[in-house]
């Protein structure tokens, strides 16, 4: 099994969440190959995301977890450039039946982070992917997971560049959940 994380981060809050998701994936299944890709401004040429090797690698993945900070109610321009470049794969539905999930961060408690996740869900559905959200009610059990109460994916809030410990644990949980779903969908039993 192979799971990819493709994300953009500026202050590294989203990057820290990606690391937590990877930790959760590894806790669920040690034998899963992980492709981690942080989108770089150098990959954007004249406004277009250009990295054919990344897209070739994504074709071999069972799941793609996408992340972006929330800027002005949506994904960062750098992530949007990646999403737009994926249209070449959309027309052939080359990502169909892969698992998808998402994560975002913002500086405000309600900085419209759910709009970012809704965008990621739309992108995944356009590609024919299966979206995996959080199956956690707000403040889940004694762990307090899903602190901000968003079922769509992981939402983190940080005004100082640090990831709240509960958001970190929620990201780990999402990694475990995606790995578990991928294992169920790819099992040959």
* 9 burial type by CB count under 10 A (0-12 exposed, 13-18 middle, 19+ buried): buried
User: At a CB cut-off of 8 Å and minimum separation 6, what does 79 contact?
Assistant: 7, 8, 39, 66, 67, 68
The DSSP code for 140 is B
Q: Give the pLDDT score at 176.
A: 97
63-78: pLDDT as tens digits? 999 999 999 999 999 9
CA 52 to chain centre: 20
The DSSP code for 179 is H
d(CA 21, CA 126): 24
Q: Give the pLDDT score at 43.
A: 97
For domain 2-186, is the CATH number 3.40.50.800? no
Length of the chain: 189
Q: Is the pLDDT of residue 147 over 90?
A: no
Q: Give the pLDDT score at 159.
A: 87
Domain ranges of the chain: 2-186
Tokens standing for residue 90:
């959309």
Q: Is the pLDDT of residue 5 over 60?
A: yes
Mean pLDDT, residues 100-120 taken together: 92
Q: Which of 44, 36, 120 is nearest to 81 (CA)?
A: 44
Tokens standing for residue 147:
């602190």
Q: Is the pLDDT of residue 31 over 60?
A: yes
112-146: pLDDT as tens digits? 899 999 999 999 999 999 999 999 876 656 667 88
Q: What is the average pLDDT value for the chain, to the nearest integer?
A: 93
Q: Give the pLDDT score at 149.
A: 80
43-60: pLDDT as tens digits? 999 999 999 999 999 999
């Amino acid at each position: 099994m192979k799971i990819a994380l493709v994300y953009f981060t500026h202050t590294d809050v989203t990057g820290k969440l990606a690391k937590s998701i990877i930790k959760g994936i590894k806790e669920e299944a040690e034998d899963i190959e992980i492709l981690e890709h942080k989108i770089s401004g150098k990959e954007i040429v004249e406004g277009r995301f250009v990295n054919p090797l990344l897209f070739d690698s994504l074709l071999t993945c069972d799941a793609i977890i996408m992340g972006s900070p929330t800027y002005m109610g949506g994904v960062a321009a750098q992530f949007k450039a990646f999403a737009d470049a994926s249209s070449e794969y959309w027309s052939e539905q080359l990502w169909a039946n892969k698992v998808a999930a998402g994560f975002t961060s913002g500086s405000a408690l309600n900085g419209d982070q759910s709009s970012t996740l809704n965008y990621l869900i739309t992108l995944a559905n356009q590609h024919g992917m299966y979206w995996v959200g959080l199956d956690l009610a707000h403040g889940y059990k004694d762990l307090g997971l899903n602190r901000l109460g968003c079922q769509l994916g992981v939402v983190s809030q940080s005004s100082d560049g640090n990831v709240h410990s509960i958001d970190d644990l929620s990201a780990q949980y999402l990694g475990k959940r995606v790995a578990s779903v991928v294992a169920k969908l790819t099992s040959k039993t």
